[in-house]
Amino acid sequence: MLAGIIDRVGDYRIEFRDPDFETLVKSIVYQQLSGRVANVIFGRLASAAGGKITPANILKLRPARMRAVGLSGQKTEYIRDLARHTRDGRVRFEELPELTDEEVMARLTAVKGIGVWTAHMFLIFALRRHDVLPTGDLGIRNAIRKAYGLEAMPLPGEIEAMAERWRPFCTVASWYLWRSLEPNANL
């Protein structure tokens, strides 16, 4: 099934981001929002932070100012918690590339508002890890259901079993599964 998707989608062209504080803040902003809306809010936040999203600049902003750019109270709290974790050295972005996936997951999910999904996205798109399987991602679950003709959404354990043959390149498989859902994927 995946081979057919690969043939139709074409070359692997994943786009990476920097493995830094700003990238993780962006991930928090984008949680559960359309890309267009999240992009506007992120732009407003960057402007309010003086053009550069750093822990110090975020912590200088009052929560009310962060809310005024369009962030929810929860996301404001999450971003501020990440800024404090970074400022205090509990999250050191320069160390993350040297850590195992499990160690990165533990460090990031210790921050309020960063769950497994966000940590998986950071592993894939910022740390460029090749064998990440985001079993909780709705897009991955939908793509597998569609590609394999399943009646129900596959459970994480079912996806793990299915993905054994994709290892050590689950990230690549995930990228193709996401692309298979795009209208221009020629599927």
> Whose CA is closest to 75, among 85, 63, 87?
63
> Whose CA is closest to 41, among 72, 8, 69, 17?
69
Is 7 assigned a catalytic role? Answer: no
C-alpha 48/C-alpha 163 separation (Å) is 43
20, 81, 101, 137: the catalytic one is: 137
C-alpha 174/C-alpha 143 separation (Å) is 9
Assess contact for 7 and 152: CB atoms under 8 A.
Answer: no
C-alpha 165/C-alpha 148 separation (Å) is 15
Residues assigned a catalytic role: 137
